[in-house]
């Protein structure tokens, strides 16, 4: 049943990706700048949020506009267009290749690590602009949340917080050896109990792993929530952001 639902979702992403890319073009997509919601007061903190497979930063930027804090700049990068094995090799916005659904299955080791280095460069740019790393939150949804978790835990610079929505910890077998920093950084992990794409059981396994690795990890489950967000989840996200980026 789980496999059938996920394959249906993959078909949706394939059709969506074809429509989107036919509009913007492969080359245009690769050159798309991050979608940014600027601070409306003095800019003293930043939140970098990574979208899910087949998506862009536009949808999440709109979501953060609704809950934004005036001193925070929200940066929603766009993933490059890459072939996705699980979607029959179809090219779509993807931070790295997804080869399997099984926690013990093959993962795109090189792609995940390369993507993480790219996100670290975005963080470094914010630091160069005058925002200390401990005033930066890194987060994401689904595949983007997975990349956010891996990037944050394998970088040495301290962050203000880590936000993971409907996601998982990639290359989990490499931990705790791969852990370089942010083990005492606040982490908010949220997951819907009815998620047919990234199964709730994956969220629970990630919850268990993060509890062993990190000291300030919080896991919130949302009854009946599918592979998306909800007003209650975004309300909880806003409250958490207000605590880690006061």
Please report the domains of the chain, with CATH numbers, ordered by start residue.
35-244 (3.40.50.1820)
- Distance between CA 19 and CA 122 in Å, rounded? 28
Quote the pLDDT of residue 32.
Answer: 66
Q: What is the mean pLDDT of residues 140-160?
A: 97
Q: Does residue 189 contact residue 203 with C-beta atoms inside 8 Å?
A: yes
- Distance between CA 74 and CA 20 in Å, rounded? 23
- Return the structure tokens found at 17: 């990706």
By annotation, the residues acting in catalysis are: 142, 195, 227
Given a cut of 60, whether residue 4 has pLDDT beyond it is: no
pLDDT per residue as tens digits for the range 28-53: 444 468 999 999 999 999 999 999 99
- Distance between CA 79 and CA 166 in Å, rounded? 18
Given a cut of 70, whether residue 24 has pLDDT beyond it is: no
Please give the model's pTM, rounded to 2 decimal places: 0.87
């Amino acid at each position: 049943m789980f496999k059938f639902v996920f394959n249906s979702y993959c078909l949706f992403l394939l059709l969506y990706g074809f429509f989107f890319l036919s509009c913007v073009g492969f080359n245009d997509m690769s050159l798309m700048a991050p979608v940014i919601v600027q601070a409306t007061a003095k800019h003293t903190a930043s939140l970098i949020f990574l979208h899910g497979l087949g998506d862009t930063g536009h949808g999440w930027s709109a979501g953060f506009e609704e809950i934004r804090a005036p001193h925070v700049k929200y940066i929603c990068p766009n993933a490059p267009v890459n072939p996705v094995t699980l979607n029959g090799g179809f090219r779509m916005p993807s931070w790295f290749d997804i080869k399997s659904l099984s926690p013990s299955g093959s993962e795109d080791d090189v792609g995940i690590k390369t993507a993480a280095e790219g996100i670290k460069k975005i963080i470094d740019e914010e630091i160069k602009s005058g925002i200390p790393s401990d005033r930066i939150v890194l987060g994401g949804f689904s595949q983007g949340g997975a990349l956010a978790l891996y990037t944050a835990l394998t970088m040495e610079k301290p962050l203000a917080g880590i936000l993971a929505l409907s996601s998982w910890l990639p290359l989990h077998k490499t931990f705790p050896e791969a852990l370089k920093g942010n083990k005492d950084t606040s982490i908010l992990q949220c997951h819907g109990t009815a998620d047919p794409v990234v199964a709730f059981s994956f969220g629970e396994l990630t919850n268990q792993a993060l509890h062993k690795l990190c000291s300030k990890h919080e896991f919130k489950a949302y009854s009946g929530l599918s592979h998306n967000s909800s007003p209650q989840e975004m309300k909880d996200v806003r409250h958490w952001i207000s605590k880690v980026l006061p």
